[in-house]
Amino acid sequence: MKTIFAVFGDPIEHSMSPAMHNAAFTDMGMDCEYHAFRVGQDSLRDALIGAKAMGFGGVNLTVPLKEKALSIVDADPLAAKIGAVNTVYFKDGMRGYNTDGIGAKRALDNAGVDIANTRVLILGAGGAARAIGFQFANDGANITIANRTEKRSHDLARDISSVGTAQGTGLTNLKGLIAQADILVNATPVGMHPNTDQTIATADSMHPDLTVFDIVYNPLETRLLKETKIAGATAVNGVMMLVYQGAEAFRIWNNVEPPINIMKDAVLEALGIQKS
């Protein structure tokens, strides 16, 4: 019998996960399908219980469900520390994991960017920012969290300090913060389709030695990354973070190594980009 996997979120129409995972299942000859379902925070518990009852192999969670899931599933130690879950496996109950951090790390590795001993400025203080902050701090980076609501940035930095060096601040001195950073991470939805004219920073605030990593992957080249290229800095888009976090979820569910290039090409094709 076919095994079903899914991604839950609201909104969910933009998700590339079905294309990515279904391409992997087809390539590996697995009798599985992956679908997207719109699920709000108030319905998450029922949706997860229902998915388990119907024999789903596992689910991914996207905004706004990652932090809400923590009170529903049995989170592994990393996900519990991060405070967000993006992958749920139904073997032996409902086990929650977070693969965003490792996805971000591998995306930068793929771009030839070493995280250790760098100054990383993360914009945003939500679930993705938490995962990336914990992962990068654990890998030896000095983390600064900058967020519009400054209290949230201080709270997150305090949490991240349990594994490394971190501090929080507001956005009033963003240009100065970027000037001091080696890596800038946009962990907000600013610039995501359909609001593609928006950017959280412009070229005049960047320097050529900066790496700008935008976790937004639709569009592939956000306005932030266009500004990055104008500044002569290194631009890293969000596609490979999506692919690598999805690959880690695939491993958790199936205990096999997924076809990374097939997953990447499926995402690019879904975005209307020529395959690599």
Active site residue 151: no
Residue 176 CA to residue 204 CA, distance in Å, equals 11
Q: Considering 52, 66, 105, 175, which one is annotated as catalytic? A: 66
Question: Which of 249, 255, 266, 271 lies closest to 8, judged by CA?
Answer: 249
Contact assessment for residue 99 and residue 258, using Cβ atoms and an 8 Å cutoff: no
Name residue 260's amino acid.
I
Q: What are phi and psi of 274, to 5 degrees?
A: -60, 140
Burial 204-226 (b: 16+ CB within 10 A, else e): ebbeeebbbbbbbbbbbbbbbbb
Closest Cα partner for 244 from 37, 98, 36?
98
Cα gap 114→108, rounded to integer Å: 7
Distances (CA, A) of 161 to 39, 76, 165, 229: 33, 19, 5, 32
Question: Contacts by 21-27 with C-beta closer than 8 Å and gap 24+?
Answer: 21/246, 21/250, 21/263, 22/266, 23/259, 23/262, 23/263, 23/265, 23/266, 24/250, 24/258, 24/259, 24/262, 24/263, 24/266, 27/259, 27/262
- What is the torsion angle, in degrees rounded to the nearest 10, for the CA atoms of residue 97, residue 102, residue 107 and residue 111? -170
Residues annotated catalytic, as ranges:
66
